[in-house]
Amino acid sequence: MRTVEEIIAELKAIADDPKKAMEDYKKETGKGAVGIMPVYCPEEIVHASGYLPMGMWGAQKKAISKARTYLPPFACSVMQSVMELQLEGVYDNLEAVIFSVPCDTLKCMSQKWHGKAPVITFTHPQNRKIAKDAANVFAREEFKLVKEKLEDILDVRISNRAIKNSIAIYNENRAVCREFSDVAAEYAAVIKPSDRHAVLKARWFMEKSKHTALVKELIAAITATPAPEYKGKKVVVSGILVEPYDVLDIFAENGLAIVADDLAQETRNFRQDVPEDDDPLMALAKAWNEFDGCSLATDANKPKGQMLIDAVNKYGADAVIVCMMKFCDPEEFDYPILIQEFEAAGVRNLQIEIDQESTAFEQVKTRIQTFAEIL
């Protein structure tokens, strides 16, 4: 049986080198990869084609220079990074790239692609609650277009049966990721925030059943011994993502464990399963319209604050840390509502800024250190 450290090292190596993960997949299957731009692509359709869905979440500490020609400084940090990478040709080996467009920056990004791979764009419906039935029909039609365009580009046929099978594989992976997140909370003394992130990030670059198997192995290795007592404080994080690793290390250095997250890169993808439906594209459509708690999924009831408060209570957390992606206006709109709700519920909270490009972290360090002291 491998140790916890060994399994995490394997997952971290995958998270840190997506290119190698893609090459390994190609060697093994003879098939390439399809790029998945953030956020909430019905990846199961790609998985069902036999190609590897490959997340595109920018890069850590990537200096931005070429992208400045195509994007003003007020485009968000992840998109700056994605633009830089596409101009460097990093994505040129992808068979296709799929864009969703739930924010204005993504709409524009989908129309200014400079890589070699063909782009498939689809639109999520946003009137998801009051016009739910119509939104389901619309989303299904958009997903059908994604399927047809993929079939055309990849020269494969994607059957309903294959999509159903992929949904089952993804739902199993979602369940195991939820379980891992809970185990990481229980074993906060063992699993550092950066380890937790690496395990969950690796799922973006792996065939999901392989990720599931590795995470199951990891859970078994972690829980083989009783959870040591954790003496630090516990926090819930919310935002698009928390990177680079340096930021997560600041959490650890100040005795803060991440016991749950509400990140677009992590838990928001596996908080809910895709429901059962005879029509797999309709199942994926329903999953989007039932999905809650993301700034990019419109809901005038704005349930995110209560969801975070519930997570704080469930995991006995001491606070919420809102990790604000620089220039992400959908997230910035949620913040003033969140702080009112946190205050009303007596939940302590802190906002830090996330900029993938950053190489200096003194400000985040000072804020987290001061916050940790008052907890």
Q: State the minimum distance, in angstroms, from the CB of residue 126 to another protein.
A: 4
Per CB under 8 A, the list member of 64, 90, 131, 307 interacting with another protein is 131
Judged by CB under 8 A, the stretch of 4-12, 125-133, 182-190, 277-285 that binds another protein is 125-133
The least CB distance from residue 299 to another protein, in Å, is 7
- Report the nearest approach of another protein to the CB of residue 303 (Å): 10
Q: Give the residue, chosen from 301, 316, 346, 360, that forms a contact with another protein under the rule CB under 8 A.
A: 301
List 44, 84, 318, 334, residue binding another protein (CB under 8 A): 334
How far apart, in whole angstroms, are the C-alpha atoms of residue 285 and residue 161? 17
Distances (CA, A) of 230 to 45, 180, 196, 255: 41, 17, 16, 10
Site residues for another protein, 135-194, by CB under 8 A, read 135, 137-138, 141-142
Chain centre to alpha carbon of residue 337: 23
Residue among 232, 245, 230, 234 nearest 198 (CA): 245
- Which position has the token pair 């439906």? 277
The answer to the question of residue 13 lying near another protein (CB under 8 A) is no
Binding characters for another protein, 29-68, by CB under 8 A (x = yes): ----------------------------------------
From 57-65, 103-111, 252-260, 278-286, give the range in contact with another protein by CB under 8 A: 103-111
Q: Considering the rule CB under 8 A, would residue 343 count as an interface residue with another protein?
A: no
Residue 80 beta carbon to another protein: minimum distance, rounded to whole angstroms? 12
Q: Binding to another protein by residue 115, rule CB under 8 A?
A: no
Residue 323, helix vs strand vs coil? strand
Q: Which stretch binds another protein (CB under 8 A): 13-21, 109-117, 221-229, 252-260?
A: 109-117
Element (H, E) at 260: strand 256-263
**Least distance in angstroms from the C-beta of 122 to another protein:** 7
Q: Please identify, using beta-carbon distances, which residue of 121 and 212 lies nearer to another protein.
A: 121
The residue from 87, 213, 227, 339 that contacts another protein (CB under 8 A) is 339
Q: What is the x/- site pattern for another protein, positions 71-90, by CB under 8 A?
A: xx-xx---------------
Number of residues that bind another protein (CB under 8 A): 49
Options 64, 87, 90, 108; binder of another protein; rule CB under 8 A: 108
Q: What one-letter code names the amino acid at 170?
A: Y
Contacts of 229 (CB under 8 A, 6+ apart): 189
* Residue from 127, 160, 313, 366 in contact with another protein (CB under 8 A): 127
| Residues contacting 76, CB < 8 A, separation 6+ | 105, 240, 325, 326, 327, 328
One-letter amino acid at 152 equals D
Contacts with another protein by CB under 8 A lie at 70-72, 74-75, 101-105, 107-112, 121-127, 130-131, 133-135, 137-138, 141-142, 295, 298-302, 324, 327, 329-330, 332-337, 339
